[in-house]
Amino acid sequence: MSTGPGGEAGFPAVTAAAAGSDIRRRRRPLGERVFRVASPYLLLAPAALVIGAVLGYPVYLLTKLSFQQYGLAELVTKKGTWIGVDNYTRIFQDEQFWAVVVRTIVFTAVCVGLTMVFGTLIALLLARLGRFMRLLLTSGLVLVWATPVVVAVNIFRWMVDYEFGVLNWTLTKLHIGDFLNKDWFADPTTGFAVITALIVWGAIPFVAITVYAGLSQVPAELVEAAEIDGARRWQVFKDITFPLLLPIFVILTSLSIIWDFQVFTQVWLLRDGEPEEDYWLMSVYSFVEAFRLGEYGFGAAIAVVMVCFMFVATFVYLRQMIRIGDTR
């Protein structure tokens, strides 16, 4: 109450006059009162400034660039040429682009699906483990979670090495087939299998730990009552656990979509910084156009389309977030 301007203004004058100390309080110098109203804004100013400069302005610039011819020459003169929607018409007539879009959507769907399924299964497993095993598995998950992306990329690159990699040796020993000297990246399908494994492996811990935290909030009586009524384990999950944890599943799926739709580093590094066209995802395509071919405007248009796809895919989550902002 003492801090907000509303609190003091709303205080009835009579009551205030009754208490001596309050009279003194009401007659604060004008400067101090102004300071009180202004102080939250002053406190927020640096953060707002930074977010505006490093996120707000680039979002505007990205949109603007997508309507411009902006190449290396324009980078020097610092001024793009307005060409309307030409970049977008070029995109939509580009067969390459649609192949990339389809590839990105399929890739994201597979990654997010596998991450959510395995993450949830591991969370359910965690809930049923003994104390010691639970601690062990949680530590293992945290270890994986903490592994930096660039480090993980190098580990996987070493494990699938065609000559001395542990994967080819293991698969051959298990008689799954002859994998000796198999180059996983020769074929984009197996190449993407490796990239998917890398991403899902890295993303599982966050999902598993978060869902497990949610599971421990589910009232035990509910589950017990259902079990007494003869519900099977799957039914308990489907009819009790899942609906209760739905908000968590929505946010985890949305975050996973956001992260997987813009995957860049893993593809880029596993293909030594020169990914073949069969390996292009949307962010790779945009990056190649901008930084390899110097077509910044065209690259920006691709990025804009990518962001639009992501917003559509995470619409539910966005709505939920705006509601949170409203109520608090």
Partner 1 sequence: MSRRRLNRIGINLLGLFVFAGMVFPVYWMVSSAFKEGRNILTDTPQFFPSPATLSNFDDAIHRNFFWDTVRNSLIIVTAVVTFALVVGFLAALALAKFRFYGRAAFIVLILGVQMVPLNALIIPLYIQLSRAGLTNQLSGVIITYMTFVLPFTVWTLRGFMLGIPRELEEAAMVDGSTRFGAFVRILLPLVAPGLVATSIFAFIVTWNEFLIAYVFLNDPQKQTATVWLAGFTTSRGTDWGPLMASATLIALPVLVFFLLIHRKIAFGLTAGAVRG
Identify residues 79-118 at the interface with partner 1 (CB under 8 A): none
Q: Which are the contacts of 121, defined by CB distance < 8 A and separation ≥ 6?
A: none
Beta bridge pairs of residue 130 = none
Supply 100's token pair: 């990339």
Q: Considering the rule CB under 8 A, would residue 48 count as an interface residue with partner 1? A: yes
* Shortest distance, position 315 Cβ to partner 1, whole Å: 12
Q: Considering the rule CB under 8 A, would residue 209 count as an interface residue with partner 1? A: yes
Q: Which ranges in 160-240 belong to alpha helices (H)?
A: 166-173, 188-215, 220-228, 233-236
For partner 1, which stretch binds (CB under 8 A), given 88-96, 124-132, 187-195, 224-232?
A: 124-132
Site string for partner 1, 10-39 (x = CB under 8 A): ---------------------------x-x
Q: Which ranges in 147-187 belong to alpha helices (H)?
A: 149-159, 166-173
Q: Considering the rule CB under 8 A, would residue 264 count as an interface residue with partner 1? A: yes
For partner 1, which stretch binds (CB under 8 A), given 52-60, 83-91, 102-110, 236-244?
A: 52-60
* Shortest distance, position 6 Cβ to partner 1, whole Å: 6
Site string for partner 1, 273-292 (x = CB under 8 A): x---------x--xx--xx-
| Residues of this chain, 214-253, that bind partner 1 according to CB under 8 A | 214, 247-248, 250-252
Q: Is 80 exposed, middle or buried (0-12, 13-18, 19+ CB in 10 A)?
A: buried
For residues 198-233, one letter each, b for 16 or more C-beta atoms within 10 angstroms of the residue's C-beta and e for the rest, the string is bbbbbbbbbbbbbbbebbeeeeeeebeebeeeebee
Supply 182's token pair: 């198999």
Q: From CA 183, how far away is CA 191, in angstroms rounded? A: 9
For partner 1, which stretch binds (CB under 8 A), given 91-99, 109-117, 224-232, 256-264?
A: 256-264
Q: Considering the rule CB under 8 A, would residue 293 count as an interface residue with partner 1? A: no
Count residues contacting partner 1 (CB under 8 A)?
Answer: 111
Q: Considering the rule CB under 8 A, would residue 57 count as an interface residue with partner 1? A: yes
- Strands 68-69 and 81-82, sheet pairing: antiparallel
Q: Considering the rule CB under 8 A, would residue 128 count as an interface residue with partner 1? A: yes
Contact present, 111 and 196 (Cβ < 8 Å): yes
